């Protein structure tokens, strides 16, 4: 199955899954939603604030796996409203200047009523 990744710097899994799994030199993250890792509360604000928190959580999970945003090769992004697409992209671009491959889809609903969820596949550093 690979090596499970766990960090206190990102929200704990709210179901029977790992924050990420390392396998074959790659890390596969679970979707990260905009929860504060300390309080567990949904980030206050709209799509911009929620996107930033979800990506901060993703960054923390990747770091715990010995990777980082600069090693991401593919993301999958879930939005509850495609009218948020432009604002989402504005925040996303600040986290991924290297422009990994990406899918972005609209979904009816996300856990805890959040507006966005992001998962990633990344290379794990050889120094790990």
Evaluate whether residue 128 is within a structural domain: no
Q: Extract the tokens encoding 30.
A: 């679970």
pLDDT tens-digit map of 49-90: 999 999 999 999 999 999 999 999 999 999 999 999 999 999
Residue 82 lies in a domain: yes
How many domains is the chain built from?
1
CATH number at residue 28: 3.30.1330.40
**What is the extent of the structural domain holding 9?**
3-123
Greater confidence (127 vs 34) lies with 34
Ramachandran class of 114: left when φ > 0, alpha when ψ lies in -120 to 50, beta otherwise: beta
- Helical H runs in the chain? 47-64, 85-95
Q: Which residues are catalytic?
A: 104
Q: What is the pTM of this model?
A: 0.95
């Amino acid at each position: 199955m690979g090596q499970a990744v766990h960090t206190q710097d990102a929200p704990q899994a709210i179901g029977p899954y790992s924050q990420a799994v390392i396998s074959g030199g790659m890390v596969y993250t679970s979707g990260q939603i905009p929860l504060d890792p300390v309080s567990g509360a949904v980030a206050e604000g709209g799509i911009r604030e929620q996107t930033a928190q979800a990506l901060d959580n993703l960054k923390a999970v990747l770091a715990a796996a010995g990777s980082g945003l600069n090693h991401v090769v593919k993301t999958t992004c879930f939005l509850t409203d495609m009218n948020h697409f432009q604002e989402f992209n504005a925040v996303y671009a600040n986290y991924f200047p290297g422009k990994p491959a990406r899918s972005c889809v609209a979904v009816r609903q996300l856990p805890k009523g959040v507006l966005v969820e992001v998962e990633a596949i990344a290379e794990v550093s050889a120094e790990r």
